[in-house]
Amino acid sequence: MPPGGGGHDRPQLPHTGSDSAALLAASGVSAALIAGGAVLYRRGKGASRR
């Protein structure tokens, strides 16, 4: 045991309450929005050349 009587063996990050399923869903929605924006950008760029 370290001097000072520490309670934990290893340091731990605090629990933030984030849910892994919600995080996965949010990242999926984010990727879909980015892909949709890229498609709209490409369509607009092609239409402006005509």
| Helix runs in 1-50, H state only | 20-48
Token pair of 48, please?
């402006």
As a whole number of angstroms, the distance between CA 9 and CA 16 comes to: 21
Q: What is the pTM of this model?
A: 0.57
Give, in degrees to the nearest 5, the angle at Cα 43 between 39 and 45: 115
- Return phi, psi of residue 15, to 5°: -75, 120
pLDDT in 10s for each residue of the chain, 50 residues: 556 656 658 888 888 777 888 889 999 999 999 999 999 999 998 888 76
